[in-house]
Amino acid sequence: AHTRLHTGNKNFHCSFCPKKFYNKFDLVHHERHHTGEKPFKCKYCDKAFAYKRAVDNHMRTHTGERPYPCSFCSRSFIDKNQQIRHHRVHTGDRPYSCNLCGQAFKQISALCAHRRVHSDERPYSCRTCDLSYKWKSDLVKHFATYHSDLIASVVKSRIEGDENASQLNDEVN
C-alpha cells in the first residue's frame, strides 16, 4: 500500500464524486462527507462524529483533559490543532497568504473570509428581503436597521411562550 504513494496510483475511487485515494482508509473517511455517516458516539452525551479523532477530542470537553500545553504560557488545549493555532499568538507566524494581494493570516478561515474582498461572493443573505452581504456583521446591522420589528416579535413571542416563536425565529436567523 505504501508503494502507491511513490507510484502515484490512486486505486480507490469515491462512489459519489471523481476523487481517488491511495488507500481504503482515506476513501472511507472521505465518503462520510457524502453519506453523513457518524459511527463514533460520545459516551457522555448524544453527539456522534464521522471520525474517531473528532469524538476523542469532543470527549475531552466532558473530562476536562487538555493534553496539549502551550510552550510559551500556561494554557493547554484539547487537540494539537488548537495548540498550533494558539502558538501563532506568541510567534506571530502567518502561514496563509492571499495569492492576489499577499496579505498573510494566522488562520485559514481568516484567509477564506479575506478572499471575499477580491470577489463578488456574498454568502450572508437576508431571508426577509433577499439582500446579501459579504460579511455577517453587515447582515446583522441590516437586520437591526430594517427588520427590528421582527426581532421584537421574536422576543415578545418567546417571553409569552407563543408556539409560533420558532417559526419567527427561523425568519430572523
- Same domain, residue pair 88 and 155: no
Confidence of residue 148 (pLDDT cuts 50, 70, 90): confident
Burial of 96 by CB count in 10 Å (0-12 exposed, 13-18 middle, 19+ buried)?
Answer: middle
Q: What is the pLDDT of residue 170?
A: 54
Place of cell 507510484: 7
Domain CATH code at residue 87: 3.30.160.60
- Same domain, residue pair 44 and 97: yes
- Same domain, residue pair 24 and 83: no
Residue 114's identity, in one-letter code, is: H
d(CA 107, CA 89): 11
Q: What is the pLDDT of residue 147?
A: 86
Q: Could you tell me where the DSSP H helices lie in the chain? A: 3-7, 24-35, 52-63, 80-91, 108-114, 136-146, 148-160, 165-172
Range of the domain at 111: 38-121
Measured in whole angstroms, how far is the alpha carbon of residue 160 from the centre of its chain? 34
**More confidently predicted of 162 and 23:** 23
How do residues 51-87 score in pLDDT, each as one tens digit? 999 999 999 999 999 999 999 999 999 999 999 999 9
Q: Residue 94 pLDDT > 50, yes or no?
A: yes
How do residues 2-32 score in pLDDT, each as one tens digit? 665 566 789 999 999 999 999 999 999 999 9
Domain count, the chain: 3
CA distance readout (Å), 49 to 24, 29, 32, 81: 19, 11, 10, 18
**Range name among 4-8, 108-112, 123-127 with the lowest pLDDT average:** 4-8
Q: Residue 168 pLDDT > 50, yes or no?
A: no
